[in-house]
């Protein structure tokens, strides 16, 4: 640990799970390092873990009570798992066994550790340790992939001599790698803490009569992923979304609108104070000029629909942005994807744009993943086909970089 890192975890509260594997003894050193770095560390041990190391060891090293029993009566009326997850900034599952990883992947909550992981909305880091065959077994690999896809961070096990006498992968990652992961993830939870992020998401509906509207296939997933990720990085987040089935992300103010004009009004209302605007909504460019008051009957001839242009929300935000506000747009294009996105970047004076194709395998519309390229003046990053959650993380990384270079 260098002097700069010495007590850099001061003020953070970590919930550390210890599982029942041979590497449980190594977790004592990690808990000690985290505490020396200033973190307030609370340890939960599985029942199996207590067969390898006593709770007393972790109690002495963390200087806090060690939790082993979900049903233990506390000194105050506080449901243990809720109290623990509420006060922690992140959870770290150490020497994660094949068994605990399997339980986490399937939402099983039959002890305090697995219940806390299920109950937390904070980042979770998992450092597995097991014999090579257990690690390589198809169920373990599938369970790890499931958890990674849900956003849990894994600290890859290393290779070397294992307690079972074999040499192979499955060794608990080094203390340095695990503590570095804690630092990295904690830093990320603070990365946008001084930003007020305003995000638009989803499609809009442009009614022609009370029963019919023009819209597009946007699901809102991209904007919701951006909002969740920005909130997880400590930003104050306002999400203005068109109609979608998606549930409100945690710690995000959500404003639900229907039409482009409603979205426009909500954005302008919330723009003052915004430091980062991300326009990911698929706003309808046109609306029926007049809305027929009563449902047009099938047997009647449909009156001719004349289309009127909707407000260009992102162009207006870009032009009237609060001082220092970064503006990032999305361009869903069916042809000349990058060129059209670059034109939009320049025409609307954006700080960056995400170019997405529509149609085909990696289409921006529908699905949990999409093909994306980030473009900004003087820069380009091809993300390829990625989960929308990964695209969201990359967009916010770029926003942080642009913010740094603007300073």
Ligand X SMILES: Cc1cc2nc3c(=O)[nH]c(=O)nc-3n(C[C@H](O)[C@H](O)[C@H](O)COP(=O)(O)O)c2cc1C
Is 21 a binder of ligand X (CB under 6 A)?
Answer: yes
**Which token pair is 152?**
């849990």
The stretch near ligand X (CB under 6 A) out of 97-105, 143-151, 241-249, 288-296 is 97-105
For residue 173, count other CB atoms closer than 10 A to its CB: 23
The answer to whether 115 contacts ligand X (rule: CB under 6 A) is no
Q: Which helix (H) or strand (E) holds 277?
A: strand 276-279
CB of 134 to ligand X, least distance (A): 6
8 A C-beta contact, residue 61 and residue 93: no
Q: Which is nearer to ligand X, 12 or 131 (CB)?
A: 131
Instruction: Considering only the stretches 66-74, 96-104, 225-233, 248-256, report the one whose residues sit in contact with ligand X under the rule CB under 6 A.
Output: 96-104
- Contacts with ligand X, 121-160, as mask; x by CB under 6 A: --------xx---x--------------------------
CB neighbours of 349 closer than 8 A, spacing ≥ 6? 318, 319, 327
The nearer residue to ligand X, 48 or 342, going by C-beta atoms, is: 48
Is 46 near ligand X (CB under 6 A)? yes
Contacts of 105 (CB under 8 A, 6+ apart): 142, 143, 144, 146, 147
Report how far residue 178's alpha carbon sits from residue 125's, in angstroms, rounded to the nearest whole number.
Answer: 9
The whole-angstrom separation of Cα 78 and Cα 65 is 15
Nearest to residue 120, comparing CAs of 95, 93, 144?
A: 93
20 binds ligand X (CB under 6 A): yes
- Cα-based distances in Å from 262 to 21, 73, 259, 343: 56, 52, 5, 27
Residue 99 binds ligand X (CB under 6 A):
yes
Q: Determine which helix (DSSP H) or strand (DSSP E) holds 361, and give its type and residue range.
A: none
Of 42-50, 177-185, 295-303, 341-349, the segment contacting ligand X by CB under 6 A is: 42-50
Taking CB under 6 A as the binding criterion, the range among 44-52, 196-204, 260-268, 341-349 that sits at the site for ligand X is 44-52
Indicate the residue among 23 and 225 with the shorter CB distance to ligand X: 23
CB of 70 to ligand X, least distance (A): 12
Find the DSSP H helices in 307-386. Answer: 313-319, 337-347
Beta strand segments in 295-403, E: 307-309, 326-333, 352-357, 369-376, 379-387
Q: Which of 19, 144, 266, 399 binds ligand X (CB under 6 A)?
A: 19
CA 372 to CA 383: how far, in whole Å? 5
Minimum gap (Å) between residue 180 Cβ and ligand X? 22
**73: which residues sit within 8 A by CB, 6+ positions away?**
none
Helical (H) or strand (E) element with 331: strand 326-333
* Among positions 12, 57, 62, 100, the unique one binding ligand X when judged by CB under 6 A: 100
Q: Which of 27, 116, 164, 325 is the catalytic position?
A: 164
Tell me how far apart the alpha carbons of residues 312 and 195 are, in angstroms, rounded to a whole number.
Answer: 24
Residue 4 neighbours by CB distance under 10 Å: 7
- Residue 151 contacts residue 121 (beta carbons within 8 Å): no
C-alpha 75/C-alpha 82 separation (Å) is 15
Which residue is listed with tokens 């008051």?
293
The answer to whether residues 202 and 218 touch, using CB atoms and an 8 Å cutoff, is: yes
Of 21 and 357, which CB lies nearer to ligand X in the complex structure? 21
Binding segment for ligand X among 46-54, 270-278, 293-301, 390-398 (CB under 6 A)?
Answer: 46-54
The count of residues interacting with ligand X (CB under 6 A) is 15
| Candidate ranges 19-27, 82-90, 142-150, 279-287; the one touching ligand X (CB under 6 A) | 19-27
Q: Which is nearer to ligand X, 97 or 310 (CB)?
A: 97
As given in the structure block, the two tokens for residue 199 are 């995000």
Of 46 and 259, nearer to ligand X (C-beta) is 46
Catalytic residue list contains 116: no
Contact between 98 and ligand X by CB under 6 A: the answer reads: yes
Which one, 68 or 204, has the nearer CB to ligand X? 68
* 97 lies in the site for ligand X, by CB under 6 A: yes
CB of 21 to ligand X, least distance (A): 3
Nearer to ligand X, 22 or 268 (CB): 22
What's the min distance (Å) between Cβ of 109 and ligand X? 12
Per CB under 6 A, residues contacting ligand X are 19-23, 46, 48-49, 97-100, 129-130, 134
Residues with a catalytic annotation lie at 164
């Amino acid at each position: 640990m260098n002097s700069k890192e010495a007590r850099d975890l001061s003020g953070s509260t970590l919930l550390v799970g210890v599982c029942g594997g041979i590497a449980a003894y190594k977790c004592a050193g990690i808990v000690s390092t985290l505490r020396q770095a200033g973190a307030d560390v609370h340890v939960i041990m599985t029942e199996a873990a207590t067969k390898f190391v006593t709770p007393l060891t972790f109690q002495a090293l963390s200087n806090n009570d060690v939790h082993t029993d979900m049903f233990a009566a506390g000194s105050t009326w506080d449901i243990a798992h809720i109290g623990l997850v509420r006060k922690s900034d992140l959870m770290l599952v150490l020497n994660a066994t094949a068994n605990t990883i399997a339980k986490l992947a399937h939402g099983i909550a039959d002890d305090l550790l697995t219940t806390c992981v299920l109950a937390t909305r904070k980042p979770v880091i998992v450092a597995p340790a097991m014999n090579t065959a257990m690690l390589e077994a198809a169920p373990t690999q599938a369970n790890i992939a499931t958890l990674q896809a849900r956003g849990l961070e894994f600290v890859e096990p290393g290779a070397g001599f294992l307690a079972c006498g074999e040499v192979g992968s499955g060794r608990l990652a080094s203390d340095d790698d695990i503590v570095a992961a804690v630092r990295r993830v904690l830093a990320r939870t603070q990365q946008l803490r001084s930003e007020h992020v305003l995000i638009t998401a989803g499609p809009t509906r442009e009614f022609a009569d009370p029963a019919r509207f023009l819209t597009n296939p946007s699901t809102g997933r991209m904007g919701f992923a951006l909002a969740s990720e920005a909130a997880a990085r400590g930003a104050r987040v306002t999400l203005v979304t068109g109609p979608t089935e998606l549930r409100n992300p945690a710690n995000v103010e959500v404003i639900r609108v229907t039409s482009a004009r409603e979205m426009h009004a909500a954005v302008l209302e919330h723009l003052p104070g915004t430091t980062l605007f991300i326009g990911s909504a698929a706003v309808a460019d046109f609306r029926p000029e007049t809305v027929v008051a009563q449902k047009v009957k099938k047997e009647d001839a449909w009156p001719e629909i004349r289309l009127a242009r909707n407000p260009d929300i992102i162009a207006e935000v870009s032009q009237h942005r609060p001082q220092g506000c970064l503006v990032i747009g999305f361009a869903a294009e069916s042809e000349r994807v990058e060129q059209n996105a670059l034109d939009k970047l320049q025409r609307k004076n954006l700080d960056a744009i995400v170019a997405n194709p529509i149609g085909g395998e990696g289409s921006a519309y529908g699905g949990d993943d999409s093909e994306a390229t980030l473009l900004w003046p003087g820069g380009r990053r091809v993300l390829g086909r990625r989960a929308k959650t990964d695209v969201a993380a990359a967009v916010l990384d770029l926003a942080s970089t642009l913010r740094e270079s603007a300073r």
